[in-house]
A = this chain, B = another copy of it.
Amino acid sequence: MIKARIIVTLKNGVLDPQGKAIENALGGLGFGDVGQVRQGKVFDIELAHDDKVKAETDLKAMCDKLLANTVIENYAVEIV
């Protein structure tokens, strides 16, 4: 079994109102040193085989087809 972690983040330049809200909330809680905050998504996926090459290809296809919107988001695939 292969375990993988996919991290999807907004591309630079894409507005992130959710991150901005967190930034303001952290400032309000007294964390004055906080600069930019950006929020993304993480997916922990288990695959029922042990072929790392196939896994990497499949995981990238999953990102392109479903998990990420590649117009505005980047993704990183990591096999753990």
**A-side interface residues toward B, CB under 8 Å?**
1, 7, 9, 19, 22, 25-26, 29, 31, 33-49, 58, 61-62, 65-67
Contact = CB atoms under 8 A, between A and B. Distances in A.
Nearest to A16: B44
A46 B66 contact: no
B9 A66 contact: no
Contact of A36 (B46, B65, B67): B46
Contacts of A37: 43-46
A66 B26 contact: yes
Nearest to A26: B62
A67 B22 CA distance: 8
13 contacts: A7-B42, A9-B42, A26-B66, A29-B65, A29-B66, A31-B61, A33-B47, A34-B47, A34-B48, A35-B48, A37-B43, A39-B42, A40-B44
